[in-house]
Amino acid sequence: MPNALNNSQRIKQLAQQVGFTFCGISKSAFLEEEAPRLENWLNNGYHGKMKYMENHFDMRLDPSKLVPGAKTVVSLMYNYFPKNELKDNNLKIAKYAYGEDYHTVVKDKCKELIYLIEENIGKIEGRAFTDSAPIMERAWAAKSGIGWIGKHGLAINKQQGSFFFLAELIIDLECSPDNATKDYCGTCTACIDACPTEAILPNKTLNASQCISYLTIELKEEIPGEFKDKMNNWIFGCDICQDVCPWNRFSKAHNEQKFNIKSEIDHFSQKDWQEITESVFGNLFSKSAIKRTKFEGLKRNIDFIDNRD
C-alpha cells in the first residue's frame, strides 16, 4: 500500500511542522482489550463522582462512532514540560496549568494540521480531539507507538517522559499503521510508592476517586477529611507521580510561548493565594485550565490545606 505509507510519512512530517513532538498512527478499530478494563474500572467506582465517564461506553472504544467511515487514528504528542517551575512552591499547581488552557492551544494546532493534510494530500473527513470527547487517548497513543502506558496510567515516551498532552485525529484516510512500543517500566514502583493518597493500584489501574488531581478539580463537593494531611500542598492538579518517574529525566523544555508561566502567578506567595479575590481569579485565569475548578473550587482547595490540624 504505497499510498497508505506515503500518507503516514507525510502526516508525520506535517505534524512536526505544526509543532507536535511525536506522531503515531493506528488503524481505526474497536478497542477489544480496553473494553473489559473500562467496564471493570467503572464497576469498581474508580471514577468517583465523574458520572460522565459512564456515558458513551461504545463510543469510547469505537472511533467509527465518533467519525463514520473512520480508517485511521492519528495520535499526537504536544510537550508542556516547563523550563522553570513556579518560584513559590508552598502551594502548588500542576505544570500543565502554568500557561494558557491546553484545550485551546492544542486544538488550534490540530486544526492547522488538518488544513495542511488537506492541502498536501487531499480532502479528508474527520475530527480532532484534545481531551474533548469520549476517546481513550492513552490506549491509542500506546497502540500507535508514541509510548507505553505507565503504572500511573499515563503515557510515557522513551525520549521525553510523560509531560505532554495527547491529541487525536480520527480520519477517513487510509494510512500505514505504526507498531506499539515495549513497556519499559520494568520493576520500578516509584509512582506507586510516592502517591500520598495511594491512588495508584496494581495492573496500571488508577483509583481516580483518591487522586489529588480528581480531588482538586473534578470533585465538586467538599474534599473528604481522610485526605486532610495527604494533599502535599497541591491546590490544582498534582505532578507527584510524574516528578518521581525516572523517564522524566529525559523531559525537555517546551517552546510554546502560550504555555509559559504568567509573571503574576510566578510571583504568587502563599498569602497571595490565600487572599485571592474572585475578580483577580477571573483576570488571571480566564484563559487558563485553572478556570475549570472555578473560584469557589480553588478557594475550597486552598482552605482545605490551610485548615489542616
Q: Is residue 150 a part of any domain in this protein?
A: yes
Q: What is the pLDDT of residue 2?
A: 61
Quick one: 132 and 20 in the same domain?
yes
Q: Is residue 118 a part of any domain in this protein?
A: yes
Quick one: 139 and 68 in the same domain?
yes
Quick one: 11 and 152 in the same domain?
yes
Quick one: 74 and 207 in the same domain?
no
Quick one: 110 and 239 in the same domain?
no
Pick the closest to residue 147 from 159, 137, 155 (CA basis): 155
Residue of 62, 131, 172, 243 marked active site = 131
User: What's the total number of domains in the chain?
Assistant: 2
CA distance 107 to 109: 5
Mind giving me the DSSP string for 135-167? --HHHHHHHTTS-EE-TTSSEEBTTTBT-EEEE
Quick one: 162 and 265 in the same domain?
no
CA distance 71 to 10: 16
Q: What is the pLDDT of residue 1?
A: 52
74 neighbors 169 (Cβ within 8 angstroms): yes
How many Cβ atoms from other residues are within 10 Å of residue 44's Cβ?
A: 12
What the block records as the C-alpha cell of 84 is 522553570
Q: At a CB cut-off of 8 Å and minimum separation 6, what does 132 contact?
A: 103, 107
Half-sphere exposure of 111 (CA within 13 A, CB side): 6
Quick one: 279 and 163 in the same domain?
no
Q: Sign of the C-alpha dihedral, residues 124, 130, 133, 135?
A: positive
Q: What is the pLDDT of residue 306?
A: 80
Quick one: 195 and 282 in the same domain?
yes
What the block records as the C-alpha cell of 283 is 483576570
Quick one: 196 and 161 in the same domain?
no
Q: Is residue 143 a part of any domain in this protein?
A: yes
Q: Is residue 16 a part of any domain in this protein?
A: yes
Residue finishing a domain among 118, 144, 171: 171
165 neighbors 254 (Cβ within 8 angstroms): no
Q: What is the pLDDT of residue 90?
A: 82
Each residue's pLDDT, cut to its tens digit, for the chain (309 residues) gives: 569 999 999 999 999 999 999 999 999 999 999 999 999 999 999 999 999 999 999 999 999 999 999 999 999 999 999 999 887 668 999 999 999 999 999 999 999 999 999 999 999 999 999 987 889 999 999 999 999 999 999 999 999 999 999 999 999 999 999 999 999 999 999 999 999 999 999 889 999 999 999 999 999 999 999 999 999 999 999 999 999 999 999 999 999 999 999 888 888 888 899 999 999 999 999 999 999 999 999 999 999 998 654
Q: Is residue 159 a part of any domain in this protein?
A: yes
Segment (H or E) for 39: helix 34-43
Residue finishing a domain among 171, 198, 217: 171
Query: What global pTM score does this model have?
Result: 0.94
Q: Is residue 182 a part of any domain in this protein?
A: no
Q: What is the pLDDT of residue 6?
A: 95
Q: What is the pLDDT of residue 309?
A: 43
CA–centroid distance for 206 within its chain: 14
Segment (H or E) for 11: helix 2-18
What the block records as the C-alpha cell of 244 is 518521581
261 neighbors 95 (Cβ within 8 angstroms): no
Backbone dihedral region for residue 69 (phi beyond 0: left; psi -120 to 50: alpha; all else: beta): left
Quick one: 160 and 12 in the same domain?
yes
Half-sphere exposure of 170 (CA within 13 A, CB side): 24
Q: Which domain holds residue 227?
A: 190-249+260-306
Pick the closest to residue 69 from 143, 171, 168, 137 (CA basis): 171
Q: What is the pLDDT of residue 269?
A: 86
Q: Is residue 181 a part of any domain in this protein?
A: no
Q: Does 131 qualify as catalytic in the annotation?
A: yes
Quick one: 195 and 235 in the same domain?
yes
Quick one: 152 and 122 in the same domain?
yes
Q: Is residue 145 a part of any domain in this protein?
A: yes
